[in-house]
Amino acid sequence: MKPAVFNYIRPESVEETLQLLSDYGDDAKILSGGQSLIPVLNMRLSTPKYLIDIGRLEGLNYIREEGDHLSVGALVKHKDIESSPLVKELCPILGEAIRWVGTTQIRNRGTIGGSIAHGDPSAELPCVLAALRGEIVVASLEGEDVLSPEEFFLTYMLTSMQPDQVIKEIRFPIMSKKSAFSFVEVARTHGDFALAEAAVILETDETETVIKAQIAVGGVNPTPTVLEEVEDHIMGKKLTDELLTEVRRMTEGNVDPESDLHGTAEYRRELVGVLVQRALKTAGERVKKGAGRHE
Report the interface residues with ligand FAD, using CB under 6 A.
29-37, 39, 74, 100-102, 106, 110-111, 113-115, 117-118, 123-124, 166-167, 191, 193
Q: Which is nearer to ligand FAD, 46 or 88 (CB)?
A: 46
CB of 103 to ligand FAD, least distance (A): 7
Biggest CA-to-CA distance, the chain: 64
Q: How far apart are the first and last CA of the chain?
A: 45
> CB of 200 within 8 A of CB of 182?
yes
CA distance readout (Å), 23 to 18, 19, 50: 9, 6, 11
Q: Which is nearer to ligand FAD, 36 or 179 (CB)?
A: 36
CB of 199 to ligand FAD, least distance (A): 13
Q: Which is nearer to ligand FAD, 144 or 232 (CB)?
A: 144
Q: Which is nearer to ligand FAD, 163 or 265 (CB)?
A: 163
H or E element in which residue 37 lies: helix 37-42
Q: Which is nearer to ligand FAD, 147 or 250 (CB)?
A: 147
CB of 44 to ligand FAD, least distance (A): 14
CB of 206 to ligand FAD, least distance (A): 38
Q: For residue 4, give the DSSP letter.
A: P
Alpha-helical regions (H) of 170-295: 228-234, 241-253, 265-289
Q: Specify burial of residue 191 (Cβ count, 10 A radius: 0-12, 13-18, 19+).
A: middle
In degrees and rounded to multiples of 5, residue 278 shows phi and psi of -65, -45
Cα-to-chain-centroid distance, residue 20? 27
CB of 265 to ligand FAD, least distance (A): 21
